[in-house]
Amino acid sequence: MLREIRIATRKSALALWQAEHVKARLEQAHPGLSVSLVPMVSRGDKLLDAPLAKIGGKGLFVKELETALLENEADIAVHSMKDVPMDFPEGLGLFCICEREDPRDAFVSNHFESIDALPAGSVVGTSSLRRQAQLLARRPDLKIQFLRGNVNTRLAKLDAGEYDAIILAAAGLIRLGFESRIRDSIGAEHSLPAGGQGAVGIECRVADSELHALLAPLNHPETASRVTAERALNKHLNGGCQVPIACYAIHEGEQLWLRGLVGEPDGSRLLRAEQRAAVEDAERLGIEVAEALLAQGAGEILKAIYGEASVE
């Protein structure tokens, strides 16, 4: 089966790494296959300095890539699953989820070893309401300061002395070779990750069944069922990475264990729910944990935020 596969990708270092990774894996799985990259700029990349993302909600990092797929300028789009909206445009779908990297949030600092080691009043950089809510619930004395930009930019801002510490996804740091900058990997009990964090997914045209077969060897079923449960929860709460929703699923034998959290951005209230179900019921599991959060009042917290979302 010889054909060319064109990968639509953003131009950030992390996006390019992920696209190159998929390219290498496709070429390895199918010797003779020709794979090329089609780098492009997304709206989220153009608006990196916006203080609050009243800039069009979901799909900030994927819409341009999807347009390229629909207009047949590319064949697949490689995404961080954390940034992929719950619904796809007509004619497109997710056909592969690759094995998950470390899903945790990472504590990065040039002076301190962990959140607990931060002196009172320290300045921590993150623009994720999810990270902020969990951080402030544990340490109400900390000052959260806005931090956006690509991974390299965020590290440079830390090094310039603007923050005592910053929180980033471990996966991005590891992929870009910055693992040594991680002072502490924050466990899920202290910072429940965003749905899909650490996983890379591949979107393509629903009709391109030849391509679906070529992608099959890259799919990691265990990661796929975990991310399916997490995305079902996010979808039921109408969430994305721009709201203080966290969720994280792991396998326990034949079962999936899903934990979910919705938090007040100031950390004054964290709602938690968790449940186990058979792997085949991943989607229903996500909906049920979301329902349990709604029953505790998650709807009111989220309603207050949807008007003024910020971006991770």
Ligand X SMILES: NCc1[nH]cc(CCC(=O)O)c1CC(=O)O
Q: Looking at the annotation, which residues are catalytic?
A: 83
What is the size of the binding site for ligand X (CB under 6 A)? 11
Residue placing its CB nearer to ligand X in the complex, 241 or 270: 241
Total H helices, total E strands in the chain: 10, 13
Residue placing its CB nearer to ligand X in the complex, 197 or 225: 197
| 298 CB-contact burial (10 Å; exposed 0-12 / middle 13-18 / buried 19+) | buried
Q: Can you state the angle between helices 282-295 and 221-236, rounded to 10 degrees?
A: 30
Answer yes or no whether residue 176 interacts with ligand X by CB under 6 A. Answer: no
Answer yes or no whether residue 224 interacts with ligand X by CB under 6 A. Answer: no
The rounded distance, in Å, linking the Cα atoms of 218 and 269 is: 40
Q: Shortest CA distance to 135 belongs to which of 2, 20, 261, 8?
A: 261
Answer yes or no whether residue 12 interacts with ligand X by CB under 6 A. Answer: no
Binding part of the chain for ligand X, among 69-77, 164-172, 204-212, 247-255 by CB under 6 A, reads 164-172
Answer yes or no whether residue 171 interacts with ligand X by CB under 6 A. Answer: yes
Alpha helices in 148-201 (DSSP H): 151-159, 170-175
| In the complex, least distance from residue 224 CB atom to ligand X, rounded to whole angstroms | 15
The rounded distance, in Å, linking the Cα atoms of 9 and 3 is: 19
| In the complex, least distance from residue 61 CB atom to ligand X, rounded to whole angstroms | 7
Classified as helix, coil or strand, 244 is: coil
Answer yes or no whether residue 62 interacts with ligand X by CB under 6 A. Answer: no
| In the complex, least distance from residue 257 CB atom to ligand X, rounded to whole angstroms | 20
Answer yes or no whether residue 172 interacts with ligand X by CB under 6 A. Answer: yes
Answer yes or no whether residue 83 interacts with ligand X by CB under 6 A. Answer: yes
Answer yes or no whether residue 197 interacts with ligand X by CB under 6 A. Answer: yes
Q: Which parts of 230-259 interact with ligand X (CB under 6 A)? A: 241
Render 115-151 in DSSP notation, one character per residue.
Answer: STTSPTT-EEE---HHHHHHHHHH-TT-EEE---S-H
Residue placing its CB nearer to ligand X in the complex, 169 or 277: 169
CA 246 vs CA 189, 197, 261: distances in Å: 11, 10, 5
Of the candidate residues 35, 77, 135, 169, the single one contacting ligand X (CB under 6 A): 169
Q: Which parts of 198-217 interact with ligand X (CB under 6 A)? A: 198
CA 259 vs CA 213, 247, 282: distances in Å: 33, 6, 12
Answer yes or no whether residue 181 interacts with ligand X by CB under 6 A. Answer: no
What's the number of CA atoms in the CB half-sphere (13 Å) around residue 52?
A: 8
The rounded distance, in Å, linking the Cα atoms of 169 and 171 is: 5
Binding part of the chain for ligand X, among 65-73, 79-87, 250-258, 276-284 by CB under 6 A, reads 79-87
| In the complex, least distance from residue 114 CB atom to ligand X, rounded to whole angstroms | 18
Question: In this structure, are residues 198 and 171 in contact, taking their beta carbons and an 8 Å threshold?
Answer: yes
Answer yes or no whether residue 82 interacts with ligand X by CB under 6 A. Answer: yes
Answer yes or no whether residue 109 interacts with ligand X by CB under 6 A. Answer: no
Answer yes or no whether residue 312 interacts with ligand X by CB under 6 A. Answer: yes
Q: Shortest CA distance to 227 belongs to which of 195, 256, 255, 257?
A: 195
Answer yes or no whether residue 132 interacts with ligand X by CB under 6 A. Answer: no
Phi and psi dihedrals of 186, rounded to 5? Answer: -85, 120
| In the complex, least distance from residue 90 CB atom to ligand X, rounded to whole angstroms | 25
Residue placing its CB nearer to ligand X in the complex, 19 or 277: 19
- Contact positions vs ligand X (CB under 6 A): 80, 82-83, 168-169, 171-172, 197-198, 241, 312
